[in-house]
Amino acid sequence: MTDIITAWTPPSAVDRKCILEESKTIAIVGASSNPARASNFVITYLLSSSASYEVWLVNPRESEILGEPVYPSLQDLPGTPDIVDVFRRPDDLPGVAEASVEIGAKTFWAQLGLHSDEAADIGHQAGLNVVTDRCLKIEHARFHGGLHLAGFDTGVISSRRA
């Protein structure tokens, strides 16, 4: 009997919710100290929300972001992340997928607007969960009641504009 490898298909909402609930550590590749960058917004959310993840930041050109240490590569992390969340150009995704496989990550997650068939295939063939073109922060917030027009659940109910 031969193993038949199926093509990658995007995970359902239920699957994405399970990935987020079962994960404890997230490595953010392409982390930026620039508050205008999407990665910085996601880092801020993960560090300050009800999300109880250990967050590791990866960027060879940064040393600290929001008081957190930044590692030059996935191989330099203090442990194995459950999720590798990627903020890089689409051309860089296959290399990050390969590095995710090498370090033993469980999930390769390419942020909103990012997809690579090659990267999805690399992760899928190695047995990783693969999520592309989805924002981890938005997915977490929608599953945990924190989605709000400003991006956070402020806990304030008011008809007044700030």
Would you say residue 45 lies in a domain? yes
Average pLDDT over the chain, rounded to whole? 87
Would you say residue 102 lies in a domain? yes
Q: How many domains does the chain have?
A: 1
Q: What angle do CA 91, 94, 97 make, to 5 degrees?
A: 135
- Per the CB < 8 A criterion, the answer to whether 71 and 61 are in contact is no
Q: What is the pTM of this model?
A: 0.85
Would you say residue 20 lies in a domain? yes
Amino acid at 50: S
Q: Which two tokens stand for residue 134?
A: 């989805």
pLDDT above 80: residue 146:
no
Cβ within 8 Å of residue 74, ≥6 positions away = 27, 29, 58, 81, 84, 96, 99, 100, 102, 103, 105
Q: Confidence band (pLDDT; 50, 70, 90) for 7?
A: confident
Would you say residue 86 lies in a domain? yes
Over residues 40-68, mean pLDDT? 90
Range of the domain at 46: 13-143
Residue 35: count other Cβ atoms within 10 Å of its Cβ. Answer: 10
Residue 79's domain is classified under what CATH number? 3.40.50.720
pLDDT digits (tens, 9 = 90+) for 10-19: 999 899 999 9
Q: What does each C-alpha distance from 158 to 26, 40, 152, 161 come to in angstroms?
A: 34, 27, 15, 8
